[in-house]
Chains A and B, each alone.
Chain A
C-alpha cells in the first residue's frame, strides 16, 4: 500500500500545481499511514526537489517519448508504476493533462475515481473526500468504495509547505506502446501565470465600455503581478481573448485575491470565482449583486478608482 502522485513537468519544469499534488500526497499518505511516492515522466532536470514537498521517494521514467503528451501512453506508464510500487491511491492535479489521465488510469486500475477533490481523505467511515459541486454552489462528500482510488486535486486547495530535503530518485525504463497522437506544437504564453494557477487576478466586465480602455486593468495587474480575466460578454464580443473568460461556462478559478471592476456579479459569473479567498468589487451601482459576494466593495466609477488603486499599490510595493 502506498500513495503515488504524478508530478507534471511540462517543458521539463514543475508547475505550482505539481508541487501542491506532492504536498497533498504527503498529507494523504500520513492519514493512511503510508508513504508518498512521486512520479515524473520524461525529461526533467531536478526530480529530487520533490522531496522538499513531501515525497519520500521519486520515480523518474526517463523515456524521451514521454515528452510528447499522449493520454494513452502516459496513462499506461502511470498505471505500470502504480502496480510496481503497490499504490492504491493515485493523485493527479486537476489540470488539462490531469483531466485527460485521471479517468484513464482509474479505469485501468478498476478504481473509484473522483476529480477536483479539496480535502484529505477521512478514513473514519470508509474513504471520504470532499469536492465542490454545482459550480461552487455546494460541496459533496463522497465515499470511494473500491480498493483502488484515483483522484485529482483542485488547485490552490492547500497552502504548500516545505517539509524536508531532496528525495532519492530512482530512474526506471518501461516498455511503452507507441503514441498514436503526435503533438505538433505547444504554444504557451511565458511570463504570466495561467488563470487556473493564478493567486492574484484582476478582472473586468462590460462596465469597461470598450476594449480600448483595458490599459488601466493591465497596469493594475502588472503592479500586482496578477493575471487578467474577464466576464463572458466581454470575451464573446471579442474585447478580450476567450481564455480570459471566467465563470460557470469559462475557467473556474480560486485565487487568493480576485479584483472585479465593472462586473455585475451574475450568478454564472460568481459560479466560477466564488472560491476566491478574498474578493474586491468595484462597481458604480450600489445594487450590483456582486457586492453580496464580496469582502471589500468600492461603490464608484471604475475609471477613477482603478488608477487610484494602482497608485496606492505602487506606493505600498515601494515601501515593502
Chain B
C-alpha cells in the first residue's frame, strides 16, 4: 500500500540560528592589565542560554514539523567549536563559523547578514541577548542589514513556513503580530523547552559539516577602554524578626526607599 502525503499551504523552512559563546553563569568575573582585559583564566564557556534553550530548539522543532534545514552560525575563533558541536548534537544540520573575534555587536551582525545574503534563509533566529554583554542588539542589526521585519523577545511562534504569527514579550504583557515571508526573530523564555543532547546526537555531530569562513569589513565602531567591578554592599544589617517596625523605619529614614 502506498500513502500519498499531501501538504496544504505548508513550506519547508531553512532557518539560520546565530549562537554565541558566553562565560558559564557561575564564572568568576575578573580583569587583567589594570582592568583592560577580561581574565579568561579558569573560565568555562557555554552556549549562550537564550540561543541554545529557545532559538535553536524552536528552529529544530519547526524543521521537524515542516521539513527543511537548520544551520547554525557563530562569529568567533576556534574556541567556539565546542559550542558549535553542541548545537549540532542537539539537532542542527550544519554549521558555519566566521573566523574572527568580534569586538562589537555591529561587526557580528554584519558577518551574519553577509552570510545570509549569499545563502538565502527563510528566517534567522537568535537569543534575545547574551548573558555577558547583555546588549540585545545583534538581531535588530541583522534585520536592518537584510531589510527584514524583526520580532524581538519572541515567546511564541506558529508558522506554516509562509505566514507566521509571533508573540513578543513587551513590558507588562505581550504583543501578537503576523507577518508573511522572511523575518528575523530573537528568542525569549517560553519559545521552546531546553533539549539535552543524547549519545546518538553527540556521535552524529562529529560528522556534520562545520565550514570556517573569513570575516569581512572593519571592526572599528567601539573600543572598550576599561572594566571595573561594581561597589559591593557595605555589609548586611540584621534586624530582629520580632521588630518589623524597625525595618520600616530604616527603609523610610535611612535608605529613603519608602
The main secondary structure of chain A at its interface with chain B is mixed
A71 pairs with B189, CB closer than 8 A = no
Q: Does A35 contact B (CB under 8 A)?
A: no
A98 to chain B, nearest CB (A): 9
B230 pairs with A182, CB closer than 8 A = no
Q: Name the contact of A295 in the complex, choosing from B145, B221, B222, B233 (C-beta under 8 A).
A: B233
The main secondary structure of chain B at its interface with chain A is mixed
Interface residues of A in 1-43 (CB under 8 A from B): 10, 15
Taking A182-B177, A184-B177, A315-B245 as contacts, is the C-beta distance between A278 and B257 under 8 angstroms? yes
Taking A268-B26, A296-B247 as contacts, is the C-beta distance between A71 and B140 under 8 angstroms? yes
Interface residues of B in 205-240 (CB under 8 A from A): 220-230, 233, 236-239
A112 pairs with B222, CB closer than 8 A = yes
Contacts of A139 in B (CB 8 A): 227-230
A137 pairs with B229, CB closer than 8 A = yes
Question: Bound state CA distance, A161 and B186, in angstroms?
Answer: 35
* Interface-central residue, B137, B178, B233, by most chain A CB under 10 Å: B137
Question: Bound state CA distance, A71 and B179, in angstroms?
Answer: 12
Question: Bound state CA distance, A72 and B149, in angstroms?
Answer: 6
Question: Bound state CA distance, A277 and B173, in angstroms?
Answer: 25
A295 pairs with B255, CB closer than 8 A = yes
Q: Does A80 contact B (CB under 8 A)?
A: no
Q: Name the contact of A69 in the complex, choosing from B175, B223, B225 (C-beta under 8 A).
A: B175
Question: Bound state CA distance, A115 and B185, in angstroms?
Answer: 18
Interface residues of A in 184-242 (CB under 8 A from B): 184-189, 192-194, 196-197, 200, 224, 242
Q: Does B244 contact A (CB under 8 A)?
A: yes
B173 pairs with A71, CB closer than 8 A = no
Question: Bound state CA distance, A194 and B173, in angstroms?
Answer: 8
Question: Bound state CA distance, A200 and B238, in angstroms?
Answer: 21
Q: Name the contact of B180 in the complex, choosing from A142, A180, A194, A257 (C-beta under 8 A).
A: A180
A146 pairs with B221, CB closer than 8 A = yes
Q: Does B42 contact A (CB under 8 A)?
A: no
Taking A71-B143, A267-B25, A291-B236 as contacts, is the C-beta distance between A188 and B136 under 8 angstroms? no
Q: Name the contact of B241 in the complex, choosing from A113, A188, A280, A300 (C-beta under 8 A).
A: A300
Q: Does A106 contact B (CB under 8 A)?
A: yes
Q: Does B67 contact A (CB under 8 A)?
A: no
Nearest residue, chain B, Cβ from A314 = B248
> Using a CB–CB distance below 8 Å, which chain B residues touch chain A?
23, 25-26, 29, 31, 49-50, 104-106, 109, 131-141, 143-145, 147, 149-153, 155, 165, 168-181, 189-190, 220-230, 233, 236-239, 241-242, 244-245, 247-248, 250-252, 255, 257-258
Given contacts A96-B152, A143-B223, 7 further A-B contacts (CB under 8 A): A139-B228, A140-B133, A181-B178, A183-B175, A249-B189, A271-B131, A277-B257
Q: Which 8 A-B residue pairs are closest in the complex by CB-CB distance?
A: A103-B140, A188-B173, A194-B172, A300-B241, A312-B244, A103-B141, A194-B171, A107-B144
